[in-house]
């Protein structure tokens, strides 16, 4: 039951202290209104129920380039994509990855390309089944 509420509220608000739904990265300090942001879930559940089955960042801006890498706690690369629309389905080498905390690194360039549009961010995501 507790799990249900976590998933239902995933993109709404933090439910518990220390359990935040999204990570926000402001990449343009000139104007808050024009800031491009990347929203990254900190939990996903690739169990085939169509709710949060993919670990997929989203943004209010378009990407000129994008790359996301996801690593296991032992530093093994479990996912790598240059397609921001794709998302990780929780599998590694064709096998379901274990429920655990994974580290991700995203390198990006927003459109239009200027001196502020390129950056890199990283964080953790928890895979639950």
Q: How far is 15 from 29, CA to CA, in rounded Å?
A: 29
With beta carbons less than 8 A apart as the criterion, state whether 41 and 90 touch. Answer: no
The correct pick among 36, 41, 45, 97 for binding Ca ion (CB under 5 A) is 45
117 scored as a contact of Ca ion (CB under 5 A): no
By CB under 5 A, what part of segment 93-112 binds Ca ion? Answer: none
Q: In the structure encoding, which two tokens stand for residue 110, read together?
A: 């927003």
Residue 47 burial by Cβ neighbours in a 10 Å radius (0-12, 13-18, 19+): middle
54 scored as a contact of Ca ion (CB under 5 A): no
Q: How far is 91 from 13, CA to CA, in rounded Å?
A: 27
47 scored as a contact of Ca ion (CB under 5 A): yes
Cβ-proximal residues to 28 (8 Å cutoff; 6+ apart), any chain: 34, 35, 36, 116, 117
Residue 7 beta carbon to Ca ion: minimum distance, rounded to whole angstroms? 7
The correct pick among 8, 51, 77, 100 for binding Ca ion (CB under 5 A) is 51
Residue 126 beta carbon to Ca ion: minimum distance, rounded to whole angstroms? 13
Judged by CB, which is closer to Ca ion: 8, or 77?
8
The correct pick among 33, 34, 49, 95 for binding Ca ion (CB under 5 A) is 49
> What is the distance between the terminal CA atoms of the chain, rounded to a whole angstrom?
14
Judged by CB, which is closer to Ca ion: 7, or 121?
7
With beta carbons less than 8 A apart as the criterion, state whether 113 and 80 touch. Answer: no
4 scored as a contact of Ca ion (CB under 5 A): no
Binding site for Ca ion (CB under 5 A): 45, 47, 49, 51-53
């Amino acid at each position: 039951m507790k799990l249900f509420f976590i998933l239902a509220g995933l993109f709404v608000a933090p439910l518990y202290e220390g359990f935040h739904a999204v990570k926000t990265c402001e990449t343009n300090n000139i104007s808050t209104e024009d800031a491009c942001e990347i929203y990254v879930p900190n939990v996903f559940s690739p169990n085939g129920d169509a709710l949060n089955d993919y670990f997929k960042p989203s943004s209010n801006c378009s990407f000129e380039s994008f790359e996301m890498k996801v690593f296991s706690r032992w530093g093994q690369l479990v996912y790598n994509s240059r397609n921001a629309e794709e998302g990780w389905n929780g599998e590694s080498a064709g096998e379901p990855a274990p429920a655990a905390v994974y580290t991700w690194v995203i390198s990006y360039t927003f459109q239009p390309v200027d001196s502020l549009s390129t950056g890199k961010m990283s964080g953790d995501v928890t895979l639950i089944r």
